[in-house]
Amino acid sequence: MEAAVAAEGARASSRLVIGRAWYWLGAFLLSGVLWLLIIWAVSSVASAGVVTVRQMIGDARYWPPACEQSVCVLTGLGGIVQVWERHVDKHKGLGRTFVVEGICASACEIAARRAGARIAPGATLIVHEPSPARLS
């Protein structure tokens, strides 16, 4: 009888240990999933409206327009400042002048100042605080 009680106690004890192990494993997995959801939500909110360098590279609106005339048009959403500055320097060296038409934002606006560009009627210059590029 005592052996049966001892065996039942051992089984109950092992079930308790196994039950606790499953409990902690579930809690660990659930906390991991919650952390992933929090990170995803924060990164989505933090990057809302932010254009990454990778997105800029494939979008023509972030590059200076080609210039084959004596007057170069500056228009665009910005992009990499050094690219716009090289564009201006190259064409100023060829004796070309510049005019801003449409929307000229960010790096385009910096290039317009560098070029001493004329502002066409209806043009919009958009200036913002500098921020580091994001590569993701």
Torsion, Cα of 115, 121, 122, 125 (10° steps): 20
Please give the chain's pLDDT, 136 residues, in tens: 666 555 565 566 666 667 677 777 777 777 777 766 666 665 555 555 676 766 777 788 889 999 999 999 999 998 889 999 999 999 999 999 999 999 999 999 999 999 999 999 999 999 877 666 565 5
User: Which of 30, 48, 66 is the endpoint of a domain?
Assistant: 48
Within-domain flag for 135? no
For residues 81 and 36, membership in a common domain is answered with no
Q: Which residue reads 């005339």 in tokens?
A: 69
- CB 130, CB 104: distance < 8 Å: no
Number of independent structural domains in the chain:
2
Instruction: Give the pLDDT of residue 57.
Output: 75
Structural domain span for residue 1:
1-48
| Phi and psi torsions of 97, nearest 5° | -110, 175
